[in-house]
Amino acid sequence: MSRYSDWREGLLRGLYNVLLYLLLPLVLLRLYWRGRNEAGHRQRWGERLGYIPALPQAGCLWIHAVSVGEVRAALPLIRALRVRYPEASLLVTTTTLTGSRQVLDALNGQVHHVYAPYDLPGAVRRFLQHVQPRLTILMETELWPNLLRGCALSGVPVLLANARLSERSARGYRRVQPLTAAMLRDVTLIAAQSEADTGRFRALGAPRVRTVGNLKYDLEVPDSLLEQGRALRRELFGDRRPVWIAASTHAGEEEQILQAFMAVTARWPDLLLLLVPRHPERFAAVAGLCEQQGLSLVRRSERRACPPETAVFLGDSMGELLLFYAAADLAFVGGSLVPTGGHNVLEPALLGLPVLFGPHMFNFNEASERLLAAEAAWQVVNAEALAVAVDRLLAAPESRRGAGERGKTLVEHHRGALRAFLESIHPLLRSRFE
């Protein structure tokens, strides 16, 4: 590396740190503000600054998963690590409150959990000194300069699991190329989801990248889940109503979904919309939006069955999305009618549902393209096209079930990323935990 590159990296790192410290009061203020509707945002701030409660032992295996989606992707990996390395203490960190709740719901008592530190030099140093991880696994694209440099200086190997990098994100990283290259050199191994992701990481200067596949294909669904979904449907919705789930929706999408729903109910008046917003703090606002449209509403939190006139069932709970999928006939996956990048389309496919999604799927390009090619999913561009697609699927139950079967088969066919990842890191883990 040239002196000029070293100088540019140092300058960018310094500017980055100054910016973080300047933004910290605003970040904490935002947490406090969000705590108006959800008190959890005002709790455990010390963990975000590197002050964490005592852990039973230092030298753990640390897995960081930002939020709900990353936690779900990490669950098969975490469970496999517990089986293969039972003597290893596992620490799972998240960034968001919803991610924290997902860890506690799915793994309570099996792992330790705290919030990850903000990428401030002092916070990272305090965290690493206290935890002293033997190995760090970061889910997807968690590239934080101070965290990665802190691990490198402490001799802690860092593995980037289920790594993905869209072309849009790669363009952003190229704008700070010296700092990006330095971060990637601090990563021991990048286990990429696809060859395209591998190529983009290498183009940015990553020296150690391997394509292992997408861990989200390795999601295990218990056999009892489908029966639980059918039981929930009988209890809350009745046996005869068709059920359309619109899951992980964002602001700007619910309006389009409700517009499509009202268009479809002109032909299918018994249709029930199972609406599940992505973020809990938006539950009340989405309920208000339904009521503004004159749609009768039952909320999951009410714990009561839907009367026949109910139009919308609002899934205002945490940890039940798979159960809701299992209670539905077809699925729309949100974050895709707005430029968020989409959410996990493999979950409803694995449960045998035909899948609909919008045009913005850059976070799930490969998975969505595979489902489209298998005719297990359909992409829509707006509310009108969404209504047409839902109507078509409701009118053809055999075609709908066939699409669901094709999607389930596709997901099962592409399993194996978990095994490949474990094989890739086994020598490193064996030297530390055996």
Task: Assess whether 240 and 314 both reside in one domain.
Answer: yes
The pLDDT assigned to 433 comes to 56
Task: Assess whether 341 and 206 both reside in one domain.
Answer: no
Task: Assess whether 238 and 180 both reside in one domain.
Answer: no
pTM > 0.75: yes
The pLDDT assigned to 18 comes to 96
The pLDDT assigned to 58 comes to 73
Task: Assess whether 296 and 370 both reside in one domain.
Answer: yes
Task: Assess whether 103 and 91 both reside in one domain.
Answer: yes
The pLDDT assigned to 204 comes to 95
The pLDDT assigned to 244 comes to 98
Residue 239 lies in a domain: yes
Active site residue 369: no
The pLDDT assigned to 411 comes to 97
- Number of domains comprising the chain: 2
Task: Assess whether 298 and 239 both reside in one domain.
Answer: yes
Q: What is the CATH number of the domain that holds 46?
A: 3.40.50.11720
The pLDDT assigned to 434 comes to 55
The pLDDT assigned to 156 comes to 94
- Which tens digits make up the pLDDT trace of 48-84? 999 998 776 778 899 999 998 899 899 999 999 999 9
The pLDDT assigned to 432 comes to 59
| The one catalytic residue among 9, 38, 47, 70 | 70
Structural domain of residue 237, as residue ranges? 223-413
The pLDDT assigned to 36 comes to 86
Q: What is the CATH number of the domain that holds 340?
A: 3.40.50.2000
Residue 386 lies in a domain: yes
Task: Assess whether 353 and 429 both reside in one domain.
Answer: no
Task: Assess whether 406 and 422 both reside in one domain.
Answer: no
Residue 25 lies in a domain: no
The pLDDT assigned to 431 comes to 62
The pLDDT assigned to 1 comes to 53
| pLDDT tens over the chain, length 434 residues | 567 667 788 899 999 999 999 999 999 999 999 888 888 899 999 999 999 987 767 788 999 999 988 998 999 999 999 999 888 899 999 999 999 999 988 887 789 999 999 999 999 999 999 999 999 999 998 899 999 999 999 999 999 999 999 898 999 999 999 999 999 999 999 999 999 999 999 999 999 999 999 999 998 888 899 999 999 999 999 988 999 999 999 999 999 999 999 999 999 999 999 999 998 889 999 999 999 999 999 999 999 999 999 999 999 998 899 999 999 999 999 999 999 999 999 999 999 999 999 999 998 999 999 999 999 999 999 999 999 999 999 999 999 999 999 999 999 999 999 999 999 888 877 665 55
- Least Cα distance to 282 among 248, 311, 312 occurs for 248
Task: Assess whether 42 and 124 both reside in one domain.
Answer: yes
The pLDDT assigned to 337 comes to 98
Task: Assess whether 421 and 337 both reside in one domain.
Answer: no
Task: Assess whether 228 and 207 both reside in one domain.
Answer: no
- Which tens digits make up the pLDDT trace of 217-249? 998 888 899 999 999 999 999 988 999 999 999
Residue 4 lies in a domain: no
Task: Assess whether 109 and 195 both reside in one domain.
Answer: yes
